[in-house]
Structure 1
Amino acid sequence: MDYKLSVMLVMGVLACAWAADMYTDQYDNIDIEEILTNERLYKKYFDCIIGNGKCTPDGTELKETIPDALKTACAKCNDKQKAGVEKVLRHLLTKKAEDYKILEAKFDPEGVYRKKYEAQKKLAEEGKPIVL
């Protein structure tokens, strides 16, 4: 096999392997601010995530991603996704505390992640940046 072709093949395989280690960026341009400030949209996404409503394709992706993102502290998130997570966490912690408790009961019933994320909760309450 030609050397250039071999290098291209290896690079392609590595790119695929790297991409598999990241969450899809297909929904990165969704307006999170609009969802958080529009109660009707917010409720649809929230109901989807907790299993009480129909999900849009991006809602399904989010619902399926949350357990792994919690477990890995968003290690497979790109920078835009991390910024979105921070925005959503801040909103939940400061404006939707009851919803945060519902999500915590669903995704962390054993309290495994609770201690890990207590520092983020304190930062959000103080209006400081949340570190993922």
Structure 2
Amino acid sequence: MKTVLVFCVIVGAALCAPQEHYSTQYDNFDAQELAQNPRLLKNYAKCFLSQGPCTSEGTDFKKVIPDAVKTKCEKCSDKQKELIRIVVKAMQEKLPELWQELVKKEDPNGQYKGAFEAFIKGN
């Protein structure tokens, strides 16, 4: 009986614990505009690679990239996942060399590659 009670308390605590998510501050970020503007897209890529200046948004995005890659964006809202997929696909298509540099920077051993690619495809 004690075991069942302890189990219920643990499950209850886990379900009631606040889920950690990224800030929703940039949920209205215009990812389509970024994806359609090669100059702006390149500036963000350079920011993420520490090869150029960052906007305030770029600085904030850059801080969460390592965790998002490692966790398949588990702390992202559905809206954030949609925005990330738009930007990543644009970088892959329009700036493949910079995309590969970013992949090497954030996942040098390819440990998260398959899972992150599945996330980008929506799986």
TM-score of the superposed pair, with normalisation by structure 1 = 0.71
Distance 2:117 2:31 in 1: 23
Which residue of the partner structure matches residue 27 of structure 1? 26
- Decide whether aligned partners of structure 1 residues 118 and 78 sit closer, same or farther in structure 2, where only a CA change above 3 A counts: closer
User: Gaps (5+ residues) in structure 2?
Assistant: 1-15
> CA offsets, 1:52-74, max 9 Å, x none?
11111110111000000011110
* Paired residue secondary structure (1:44): helix
Distance 2:39 2:95 in 1: 14
Superposition deviation, residue 49 in structure 1:
0.6
Distance 1:33 1:113 in 2: 26
User: Gaps (5+ residues) in structure 1?
Assistant: 1-13, 122-129
Which residue of the partner structure matches residue 131 of structure 1? 122
- Percent pairwise identity: 41
> CA offsets, 1:16-35, max 9 Å, x none?
x44xx110111111111111
Superposition deviation, residue 48 in structure 1:
0.8
1:43-58 equivalent positions in 2, closer than 5 A: 43-58=42-57
* Paired residue secondary structure (1:30): coil
Contact 2:69 2:116 in 1 (8 A): no
> CA offsets, 1:97-121, max 9 Å, x none?
2222111111111111123335467
Which portions of structure 1, spanning 4 or more consecutive aligned residues, are displaced by more than 6 angstroms?
none
* Paired residue secondary structure (1:110): coil
Distance 1:70 1:61 in 2: 15
Is residue 107 of structure 1 aligned with residue 102 of structure 2?
Answer: no
Is residue 69 of structure 1 aligned with residue 60 of structure 2?
Answer: no
> CA offsets, 1:1-40, max 9 Å, x none?
xxxxxxxxxxxxx79x44xx11011111111111121122
Distance 1:46 1:100 in 2: 8
Which residue of the partner structure matches residue 5 of structure 2? none
1:85-104 equivalent positions in 2, closer than 5 A: 85-104=84-103
Which residue of the partner structure matches residue 10 of structure 1? none
